[in-house]
Amino acid sequence: MLFPTGHRGAATPAPVVPSTGRLQPLGLDQVRITGGPWARRQEVNAAATLAHIEHWLEREGWLGNFDLAAAGGPAAGRRGREFSDSEVYKLLEAMAWELGRRPDADLEHRFGAMVRRVAAAQEPDGYLGTRFGRPGQEPRYTDLEWGHELYCQGHLYQAAAARARTGRPGDLLVEVARRSADHVCATFGPDGNQGICGHAEVEVGLAELGRALGEPRYLAQAALFLDRRGHGVLADIEFGRSYYQDDVPVRDAEVFHGHAVRANYLAAGAVDVAVETGDEKLLDAVAGQWARTQARRTYLTGGQGSHHQDEAFGDDWVLPPDRAYSETCASVGSVMVSWRLLLARGGAQYADAIERALTNVVATSPAHDGRSFFYANTLHQRVPAEHVATDEVSKRAEASLRAPWFEVACCPPNVARTFASVAAYVATVDDGGVQLHQYAPAEIRATLPSGEQVALDVVTGYPDDGRVEVHVVDAPSGDWTLTLRVPSWSPSARVRVDDGSDRVVGPGFVEVPGPRSGAVVTLDLDAAPRFVVPDPHIDAVRGCVAVQRGPQVLCLESVDLDEGDGVDDVVVDASVPPWEVDGTVYVRAGILGASDGGWPYAATDDAAPRPRPELRDVPLVAYHDWANRGPATMRVWLPAL
Amino acid sequence: MLFPTGHRGAATPAPVVPSTGRLQPLGLDQVRITGGPWARRQEVNAAATLAHIEHWLEREGWLGNFDLAAAGGPAAGRRGREFSDSEVYKLLEAMAWELGRRPDADLEHRFGAMVRRVAAAQEPDGYLGTRFGRPGQEPRYTDLEWGHELYCQGHLYQAAAARARTGRPGDLLVEVARRSADHVCATFGPDGNQGICGHAEVEVGLAELGRALGEPRYLAQAALFLDRRGHGVLADIEFGRSYYQDDVPVRDAEVFHGHAVRANYLAAGAVDVAVETGDEKLLDAVAGQWARTQARRTYLTGGQGSHHQDEAFGDDWVLPPDRAYSETCASVGSVMVSWRLLLARGGAQYADAIERALTNVVATSPAHDGRSFFYANTLHQRVPAEHVATDEVSKRAEASLRAPWFEVACCPPNVARTFASVAAYVATVDDGGVQLHQYAPAEIRATLPSGEQVALDVVTGYPDDGRVEVHVVDAPSGDWTLTLRVPSWSPSARVRVDDGSDRVVGPGFVEVPGPRSGAVVTLDLDAAPRFVVPDPHIDAVRGCVAVQRGPQVLCLESVDLDEGDGVDDVVVDASVPPWEVDGTVYVRAGILGASDGGWPYAATDDAAPRPRPELRDVPLVAYHDWANRGPATMRVWLPAL
């Protein structure tokens, strides 16, 4: 069943608005983050990051590529990689969400000017792309493996959906996207080109544009792309067809595999198609893959992908911290998948995963000033970062200091669009009431499916503080339920309502029956720092502990050690739990003696026991804060004495 | 000082013949391996591998490229990668050594025919290469970063040195190489092109050809290339200039770094230059880098390189077994470096390293039939290999089953040339006598620098058996010393001479003063299987043990477990030492319960202790024998209970 009439909420200003599902999203007009780290990140994003990205797109000529294409002449002078158009579209999406969050005349003006440059490059038949089809370029769609033409147009659709839903349904960007999508449907339809794109994205883009514009053809085309993939449609390549998930149909796969960004984007599109077509088997398949991927192929930070070579998932349990690729965009993609599964099925594990990835990967990427970024997010930096100049493009994705821009610059605008729309992940509604998934100081002004209004104010010092107060400003008139997530990192929690109810609950969703207007619901989570240990199958961190405080993974940075001591020599006394003083978490740790410099493998009877090192109190920092104090080494997993 | 007059042994049929140094090599005419695993490998190499490689070079058109170039027409039709010429030269080198080891009319005929095809492609000015400079190709030396033109010609020189030293100093191949080397000296000399090759090799090739032909200009050119590198001569690339060691001059580096094959080839050339010019500081530098690389960047197998992306060394201590790249060619290169250092300085650690890399990496590459090869040599295979058809080129270097051929096919001919010349690594001589470095049934008929003859027969069941008998067939007339290496894996050894002397000694070189003709010297090494443990800085194998028996690293292969059990679930009881029954080594091991399928990181207080698994006797196999019984999973490092 494609788009049943009367589908709900198509105009909700949120990135994902399914026509059906267990939970309904709220738009940026219904949830506003008013303080705390996420509000600060949104401010920096608006004040610095958007303009920073625009500057680099201009400087590197990726915006100019549209002007060249519009001029219609030969392709000489086009700059950047084959997918550079997509960075423009992701910036447009970020701007659209930011404008939806808070009007800004200057930003609106820059947005409009950029859209006009994009629109001028669109071909009469709707095709949009600066890399193929002009004089001096290969013809369109002649390199589906690596050309990224459909990928780029998919990002255009997500941007247009954002624009349509933030109050501009007839906007030029929306019309450009509509013409492009019509062209794609005409070209790749049931009787057309039977190809797919080497990088999934057009599926999720078509689905969302179809939802936003009420156009079932777009969703049908997304379903068609999805069904084609996995049958060896694309060429075999050095990394194998698994790289772009063309080795096995998405409904038959057991786990996310291949290129981690591609895998997550594909899975997100598969959930969209499954939800809209009522395909429960497909939804089961993706949910099963998600669970296995979380259990066996995900870092403690929520990061995914341990292969640098092909930016890919490793086999089960291959999670070396010092070779973590954990691309920022893979975690943006994992949030896309988890959020869609949460809307489709409910399930606190999805909200847990979103919190983990947002807090520890997506928020780790940008520097505090929002003007440089990690592309890869290692969990163990063994060599102090080289200096990355603030005005140079980084060739190396795994630069150990954040870089202002990359030859492959997917991550900065992906962070920007996620931050600008992050309020959308805070809460949902269903027939019974409101569900709070992520905690931040916030104002929630939601309309329930019944039409009744709910107004909640969230007051909290989260995540440093585990207390969350929900002030019920306006309750619905009848029975309703306030559902709160107790994160999996909190072994237990206490829920009190000021009418006297008081319970201790475990992780998962806890339901608070119909608090009245004026009531205050207090959730006390256990955010004390604690050691975590890995499943023994994760060979690379055997014998280590990590420290987590609430949702935040902590790490040890060499700037907090004595001069000359390195994180590679640290061992911790795991019998002394981590403790907190004035907001800083400490562990008891020592420095191992240096290696003797000989062959590093010894027969057990020859291996001299090492003297127990002298122990001291060593401070940790939040992983998302690391590398903001200059070049340093760092590790998340700490060897236990 | 370049090539002092009267340099010794230039015509010795061995791969490396320095004009000076602590020890002197023996040629293939002086050492013959008569039995045991190395004799079997040489037989398979001669009977199967050489023809196998020749077949694939023909089939893939890499030999045909020379015919095309000789025809002088446009370049259309050239096949293979930019370095495909080098595989032809490495095969020629392997054939030359094989012909030096044992004359064979058919092989001689094939060799000559191939050389004529190569020679026909040489340009009048001596340039030789099929990839550049013809109509339709880029001009010569316009892509020093990736073009591999000097690299290819370097392999030509090593092949020619082999030919010159095995009795054909005026052979066509030798003259072709001489003309090419003259061209290189004219083009890249002090006043010429100031470039270097992106892949070191021409240095070691020029040095050896210079030694073989008594031509100091070639060595001077090698020294020039060496001095130029490290100053940013080549372009910065995605992997950084460290990839091709152009980031720091070789005499200033602290450790081998970047691409592992390039690093080793460069170091080998640096030793050659240092020895011939008497540059002790350069020799110290390389020896220091070698030691640090062995201590911090080498796998238990002797394999090197943990980065798949750039085939490179990782940072210190980055040695994940499941992401070991450990390219076969990197170990061939490491043998080249260790051997040169052994000749220059003596030192049993160099012979230890040669034995380790030959036994556990180079010998692991080919299948028992010599017709398929590992390119990368992982220490932990988590997923059973895909089937690799016997008649398909493998795109994927890390194919988990051996493949008959690769798009980048450097490893098969590198194995072939090493096997054909492996007898050269068995023994050396010096003014005092004979040094035995590697043990195999062998006949040694050496001439000492004094001119006296020594004849030794080695009788042994090594490496399965630790007893080595050296039968002194003919002793020199005066005082002399027989030096035996006690490998570092043998905690102690007993040396007896049948005149009654009997000593217990530790690892290193042990000297046996002047045994008479007819004497038998018996060395009893402790080849019992034993657990080895890693330096605690090697995070990836913390808490694991491996089993070594003599020089052989052992591994657990899933075909030796019960149906359904996987190596990822195995734990061993490290309190029970490994034991041997009828030639098979066993450990006490159990199978861990499966993971519960949830988030794999738990707070320490939540982590339920796992029940101790039931233990059983599990057999191990030699790592170099693995993957000869069909698709399997495998691991070298075994988690301790």
Spell out which residues of chain A touch residue B530, defining contact as CB-CB under 8 Å: 603-605
- At residue B154, the pLDDT reads 98
Dihedral of the alpha carbons of B580, B583, B585, B591, in degrees to the nearest 10? -120
Reading the block at residue B59, the tokens are 């089939």
B interface mutation test: which of A301, A537, A637 has the most B CBs within 10 A?
A537
Q: What is the pLDDT of residue B2?
A: 46
Higher-confidence residue of A385 and B427: namely B427
> Is the Cα torsion angle B383, B386, B388, B392 positive or negative in sign?
negative
Partner-chain contact B601 A535, CB within 8 Å: yes
Answer yes or no: is pLDDT of B8 > 60: no
Write the DSSP string, B78-95: --S-TTHHHHHHHHHHHH
Name the residue facing A603 among B295, B491, B601 (closest C-beta).
B491
Tell if the CB–CB gap between A236 and B396 is shorter than 8 Å.
no
Q: Which residues of B touch A531 (CB under 8 A)?
A: 603-604
Percent of chain B with pLDDT over 70: 96
Looking at residue A609, its pLDDT comes to 67
- Chain B: nearest CA to A385, how far in angstroms? 12
* Cβ pair B316:A598 closer than 8 A: no
Are A305 and A356 a contacting pair, CB within 8 Å? Answer: no
Q: Minimal Cα–Cα distance from A293 to chain B, Å?
A: 9
**Residue in A489, A542, A549, A596 to test binding to B, most B beta-carbons within 10 Å:** A542
Q: Which of A237, A382, A489 sits opposite B316 (nearest CB)?
A: A382
Interchain CB distance below 8 Å, A322 and B316: no
Please write the tens of the pLDDT for every residue from B340-369: 999 999 999 999 999 999 999 999 999 999
pLDDT in tens, A450-481: 999 999 999 999 999 999 999 999 999 999 99
Question: Which of 61-120 (B) contact A at CB < 8 A?
Answer: none
Predicted pLDDT at B174: 98
What does the pLDDT read at residue B138? 96
Q: Is B139 on the interface with A (CB under 8 A)?
A: no
Report the range of poorest mean pLDDT among A237-241, A315-319, A329-333, B244-248. Answer: A237-241
SS3 per-residue string spanning A240-251: CHHHHCCCCCCC
- Tell me the C-alpha to C-alpha distance, in Å, between residue A105 and each of A110, B148, B606: 9, 56, 53
Q: What is the pLDDT of residues A582-597, one digit of tens each?
A: 999 999 999 988 777 8
The tally of CA atoms less than 13 A away on the side-chain side of residue A233 is 23
The Cα of A637 is separated from the nearest Cα of chain B by a number of Å equal to 10
pLDDT confidence of residue B387: 65
**How close A319 comes to chain B (CA, Å)?**
10
Mean pLDDT of A55-77: 94
Q: Tell if the CB–CB gap between B599 and A295 is shorter than 8 Å.
A: yes
CATH of domain B427-525: 2.60.40
CA distance B142 to chain A (A): 22
Residues of B (268-297) whose Cβ lies below 8 Å from A: 291-292, 294-296
Identify the CA nearest to A546 among candidates B272, B37, B600: B600
Instruction: Select the more confidently predicted residue: A2 or B342.
Output: B342
pLDDT band at A1 (very low <50, low <70, confident <90, very high): very low
| A window 292-351, beta carbon within 8 A of B | 292, 294-296, 298, 300, 306-309, 314-318, 320-323, 349
Q: Where do runs of H (alpha helix) occur along B395-510?
A: 411-420
Token couple for B288: 């220091």
Least reliable range by pLDDT among A35-39, A631-635, B243-247:
A631-635
Q: How confident is the model at residue A40 (pLDDT cuts 50, 70, 90)?
A: very high
Which of B182, B191, B193 is closest to B156 using CA atoms?
B182
Return d(Cα A519, Cα B356) in angstroms, integer. 73
**Would you state the pLDDT for residue A8?**
55
Would the pLDDT of B264 be above 70? Answer: yes
DSSP-derived pairing of the beta strands B442-447 and B467-474 = unpaired
Query: pLDDT-derived band of residue A73, with 50, 70 and 90 as boundaries?
Result: confident
Q: Which phi and psi (to 5°) does residue A546 adopt?
A: -125, 165
Point out the residue among A314, A320, A592 whose CB comes nearest to the CB of B540.
Answer: A320
Q: Which residue spans of chain B are classified as CATH 2.60.40?
A: 427-525
The mean per-residue pLDDT over the stretch A224-252 comes to 96
Q: Per-residue pLDDT tens for B213-241?
A: 999 999 999 999 999 999 999 999 989 99
- B607 to chain A, any CB pair closer than 8 A? The answer is yes
Whether the predicted pLDDT of B517 surpasses 60: yes
Please tell me the predicted confidence (pLDDT) of residue A278.
97
> Per-residue confidence at A9, pLDDT binned at 50, 70, 90?
low
A598 min Cα distance to partner chain B (Å)? 5
Please report the residues numbered 530 through 549 in chain A whose beta carbons come closer than 8 angstroms to any beta carbon of chain B: 530-546, 548
> In this predicted complex, what is the ipTM?
0.93
Q: Looking at beta carbons, which residues of chain A come within 8 Å of B309?
A: 307-309
Decide if B380 touches A, using CB distance below 8 A.
yes
Mean pLDDT check: name the lowest of A287-296, A386-395, B101-110.
A386-395
Residues forming CATH 1.50.10.20 domain(s) in chain B = 24-425
Is the pLDDT at A5 greater than 50, yes or no?
no
Angle at A543 between CA A538 and CA A548, to 5 degrees: 80
| Neighboring chain B residues of A239 at a CB cutoff of 8 Å | 396
Cα B110 from chain centre = 26
* CB proximity under 8 Å: A 225-244 to B: 236-240
B604–A574 CB contact, under 8 Å: yes
Whole-number pLDDT of residue A375: 94
A308 to B306: CB separation less than 8 angstroms, yes or no: no
> What is the structure's pLDDT at A608?
65
Give the model's confidence band at A605: pLDDT under 50 very low, under 70 low, under 90 confident, else very high: confident
Taking a C-beta distance cutoff of 8 angstroms, is the pair A243, A310 a contact? yes
CB of A396 within 8 Å of a chain B CB? The answer is yes
Predicted pLDDT of residue A2: 46
CB-based contact A598 B317, cutoff 8 Å: no
Which pLDDT band, with edges at 50, 70 and 90, does A397 fall under?
A: low
Q: What pLDDT, on the 0 to 100 scale, is given for residue A466? A: 97
| Amino acid B1: pLDDT | 40
Check residue A399 and give its pLDDT. Answer: 54
How many residue pairs bridge chain A and chain B with CB atoms within 8 Å of each other? Answer: 189
Does residue A106 have a pLDDT over 60?
yes
From B329's Cα to the closest Cα of chain A, the distance in A is 19
Chain A residue numbers touching B315 (CB-CB < 8 A) = 322, 382-383
pLDDT greater than 50 at residue A4: no
Q: Specify whether the CB–CB gap between B34 and B21 falls below 8 A.
A: no
Mean pLDDT (chain A, rounded)? 94
Tell the CATH topology of B24-425: Glycosyltransferase (1.50.10)
pLDDT at B477: 92
Is A535 in Cβ contact with B600 (below 8 Å)?
yes
Q: Is A407 helix (H, G, I), strand (E, B) or coil?
A: coil
**Quick count: other Cβ atoms within 10 Å of Cβ A187?**
17
Rounded Cα–Cα distance for residues A405 and A389 (Å):
10
The mean-pLDDT minimum among A387-396, B3-12, B336-345 falls in B3-12
CA–CA min distance A527, chain B (Å): 12
Q: Do A530 and B395 touch (CB under 8 A)?
A: no
In percent, how much of chain B has pLDDT > 90?
A: 89
Poorest-pLDDT segment among A291-305, A574-588, B314-328, B602-616: B602-616
CA within 13 Å, CB half, B341: 27
Show the tokens assigned to A257.
């595999």
Q: How far is CA B478 from the centre of its chain?
A: 37
Q: What is the pLDDT of residue A525?
A: 98
Amino acid at A421: S
Q: Which residues contact B564 (CB under 8 A, 6 or more apart)?
A: none
What's the pLDDT score for residue A61? 97
Identify from B237, B293, B307, B539 which residue to disrupt to test chain A contact, counting A C-beta atoms within 10 A and taking the largest count. B539
pLDDT above 80 (res A266): yes
pLDDT of residue A387: 65
Contact B600 A538 (CB under 8 A): yes
**Cβ of B598 and A295 within 8 Å?**
yes
Q: Once rounded to an integer, what is the mean pLDDT over residues A121-137?
A: 97
Exposure string over B90-110, b if 16+ CB within 10 A, otherwise e: bbbbbbbbbbbbeeeeebeeb
pLDDT, averaged across chain B: 94
Say yes or no for a CB contact (<8 Å) between B291 and A597. Answer: yes
| Interchain pair A294, B321: CB under 8 A | no
CB contact under 8 A, B380 and A539: yes
